[in-house]
Structure formats: C-alpha cells, structure tokens
Amino acid sequence: MADDTPVREAALFGGFGGHVSVTDGRYVYMRACANPYNQPLHEHTLMPTHMRGRFTPAELKGAELVPPFPFTKDVPLLKVPGHALSNPYSFGTLLFDLHTDPGQEHPLLDDALELRMATLLTRQLRTADAPLEQYERLGLPPTGPVTSAHLLARAQKPQADAALQPAPRPEDFPTGPLSVHVPLRDLLAHPEAAAVLRDHFAALLDGPLAQRALDLTLLQIAALAIGLLPTDRLHAIATRLASINTVCR
C-alpha cells in the first residue's frame, strides 16, 4: 500500500445477496442478479446467528446439511434459505471507469469491456470456490468461457436509470390508522393488514429484516431495503390498507 505496487490481478467484493463486484484497479464491475427474484440464495454456515441475534426456528425450518466446500476442512454445512436486505436487480449491472469517473456516477455501456470484466469476475468466483447457485443467481457459467450471451449491463440499463428517480414522497400516500405511515408492528397486529403485507412481501416478513424493522413504517422500510419494496408495490399496499380503513369506519 505504501507505494501502490500491484499485488493481485483483481479484488472481489460485495455483500450477501447484493451485487457481486470486481475491480482491476481501473474499472469496477458490479454484477446484479439475472432475475428480479434474486434467487437462488442461501446461507452456508456452522454458526446460525445474525449480527444481532440467533436464527429463528422459522428460518431454520428449511435448513439442510450439505457437503463441505473445499475450504471447510471436510466439514459439512447448514444450508439455510437466505434473505438479502436489498435487491441488486433494482439497480442493474453497472460498470465504471475509476480514472474518468472516480465518483462512479456515470455507468458505462461497453460490451467488450463488460465481457473482460465479467470473465475476470467469474475467474475470481471459481478461485474462491463460490457455491454453484451463485452462478445461477448472477447468470454466469460455472464452467467454460463467459460469452456475450452472459452480458447484463445493457439489458439492465432501464433498472439503472429508474434507480436514479426520487424516492417515494410520504404525501403521495393515503394516511390512516392502517397505512404506510404507521410502524410495521402495528400493521402486523391487525389480522387484515397483516394478510395484505403477506400477500405482497411474505419473504421479507419471514426473514430477519422484519424483526429489525418492527418500529419502522413501510415508507422507511422501502428506503432501507431498496428493491424489496418498490414504489408500485408500496402504492398497491397503500390502496388495500386504505380499503380496510374504509370498511372499519
């Protein structure tokens, strides 16, 4: 670090269930999931705990014991359905030039460059013995060459553009005792409201985020868990909650 001498071809980085990214020092390639469901996605662990607490029994109901990875010293692992805190599909696959755009504000559309960086990313995943399901989630080949058929930046540009739009405004949504303006805890305590939420994002309610977000409103959750509660879904929930308010009057 003292004299900036190169020590590796590339660096792989990212967060669980988010973009899987690679940089060669000049370019940054942020690979989003290939489908809007951000699946398949599992946690592999021998320590079923989150940062703020243990896995709940509900989270562990779908657990299974699976064969070890090459780096787990022949120890099998618990494979548990995973829940990401955001959905990278909402932002799309992004490619940046750190020399001309150090703030990463202007994504590139360059098929030849993306092919090189996607190849670099795939090579790093293979070196790290990434789970096979990650290749499926990202739309990359677990074996063989990366080809132009695997590129995503151009196809996902609409998501990248949409992500730049302003966040939903509170004044655009109806108010009331059951609305997107009240804490999640209050909505879950009302059977009809809870049913509405489960219709629209059951996976979020069954994951660890729900327990962390009980005191947040749906508007706040939408801002926190980007992509999991998009604006159109938020409006649909608001409309149904408003109809419950009307019936209860």
pLDDT band at 249 (very low <50, low <70, confident <90, very high): low
**Mean pLDDT along residues 163-173:** 88
Q: What is the pLDDT of residues 86-137, one digit of tens each?
A: 899 999 999 999 999 999 999 999 999 999 999 999 999 999 999 999 999 9
Strand ranges (E), 17-170: 20-23, 27-31, 42-45, 49-50, 53-54, 64-66, 77-81, 94-97
- Give pLDDT, residue 171: 93
- Give pLDDT, residue 47: 93
- Average confidence score pLDDT of the chain: 91
**Mean pLDDT along residues 149-178:** 92
pLDDT band at 163 (very low <50, low <70, confident <90, very high): confident
In our burial notation (b when 16+ CB lie closer than 10 A, e otherwise), range 11-36 reads: ebeeeebbbbbbbbeebbbbbbbbee
**Mean pLDDT along residues 39-67:** 90
- Give pLDDT, residue 190: 94
Q: What is the pLDDT of residues 188-241, one digit of tens each?
A: 999 999 999 999 887 777 777 777 788 999 999 888 777 778 888 899 999 999
